[in-house]
Structure 1
C-alpha cells in the first residue's frame, strides 16, 4: 500500500511539473516565458501578399533558394491532409524573409524588416489555347 502511495504521489508531482504555465520545453532546454520585457514592440506591422510568377513546384524551389524567400507559400489548390488544407511555412515568423525587396509603403521603408510575406501560387493565369490571360480571383 505504501508503495502505491509513493507511485501515485510521484506521478502527480511529475504531471504538475509537465504543464507549468510559461515554461516551454525545447530540445535540450526549457524556455521560461513568465516575465516579458516592457521595452519591446511588435516587429510585424504589415502583411505583404504576392502572387507567384510560376507554378507551385517552381515557386517552392525559388523561395527556398539563397536569393529570395517568403514566410508562407499557399498552393492554388492546397492538398488536404486529415481533412485540412496544407500550406508551406518557409521562414519562421520571428525571422526576416527576403520578399519585399527595396520597398516603401505609407512612409515606411525596408518592409522586409516589419512584414510577413505570403506568396499565393498564380491562380490568376488561365490558359486559353496557347495563351495565358489574366483572371483575377
Structure 2
C-alpha cells in the first residue's frame, strides 16, 4: 500500500512540474523557457499579407513548390474541425519563407529575412461597372 501511495505521489509531483509556468511539455522532452538571453533580438518585424490570385488547391501547390513559399495559407472559407477553422502552416515561423521577393519597406530591404508571410486565398482584382476593385475576403 505504501508503495502505491509513493507512486501516486510521485506521479502527482511530476504532473505538477509539467504544468509549471514556462515549462512546455514536448514530445519526448520538456522545454524550459523561463530564462531569456539578453544577447538576442526578434527576427520578425513585419507581417506581409498577400492574396493568392488563385483557388486554394492551385495556391497550395504553388506555395509548396520550389519557387515561392509562405508561412501561412488561409482559405477563403476555412473548413471547420472540432468547431475551429483550419489554416495551413507551410513554413515554421523560425524559418525564412520566400514570399516577399525583391522587397523594400520603410528603409528595410530583404523583407523575407524579417517577416512572416500570410497568403489569403483570394482572386484579387474583380471587374465591376465602376472599374476595378479588390474583393474582400
TM-score past 0.5 threshold: yes
Q: Does the aligned pair in 2 maintain the 1:76–1:123 contact within 8 Å?
A: no
User: After alignment, is 12-21 or 69-78 more displaced?
Assistant: 12-21
User: After alignment, is 104-113 or 1-10 more displaced?
Assistant: 1-10
- Whether 1:5 and 2:1 are equivalent positions in the alignment is no
Please report how far the alpha carbon of residue 39 of structure 1 lies from its aligned counterpart in structure 2 after TM superposition: 1.3
Please report how far the alpha carbon of residue 125 of structure 1 lies from its aligned counterpart in structure 2 after TM superposition: 5.2
> Residue 135 and residue 104 in structure 1: after superposition, are their counterparts in 2 closer, same or farther (change >3 A)?
closer
SS at match of 2:16: helix
Question: Which residue of 2 is the match for residue 136 of structure 1?
Answer: 135
Aligned pairs (5 A) from 1:46-125 = 46-124=46-124
TM-score w.r.t. length of structure 1: 0.82
User: After alignment, is 4-13 or 101-110 more displaced?
Assistant: 4-13
TM-score w.r.t. length of structure 2: 0.82
Please report how far the alpha carbon of residue 67 of structure 1 lies from its aligned counterpart in structure 2 after TM superposition: 1.0
Aligned equivalents of 2:18, 2:36: Cα separation in 1: 21
Give ranges in structure 2 of 5+ residues lacking alignment: none
Please report how far the alpha carbon of residue 23 of structure 1 lies from its aligned counterpart in structure 2 after TM superposition: 3.1
Deviations 1:51-71 (CA, angstroms, capped at 9, x unpaired) = 112111011001001111001
Question: Which residue of 2 is the match for residue 25 of structure 1?
Answer: 25
Equivalences, count: 133
Please report how far the alpha carbon of residue 82 of structure 1 lies from its aligned counterpart in structure 2 after TM superposition: 1.8
Question: Which residue of 1 is the match for residue 16 of structure 2?
Answer: 16
Aligned equivalents of 1:71, 1:122: Cα separation in 2: 17
> Residue 28 and residue 6 in structure 1: after superposition, are their counterparts in 2 closer, same or farther (change >3 A)?
closer
Aligned equivalents of 1:41, 1:136: Cα separation in 2: 37
Give ranges in structure 1 of 5+ residues lacking alignment: none
| Alignment RMSD | 2.3
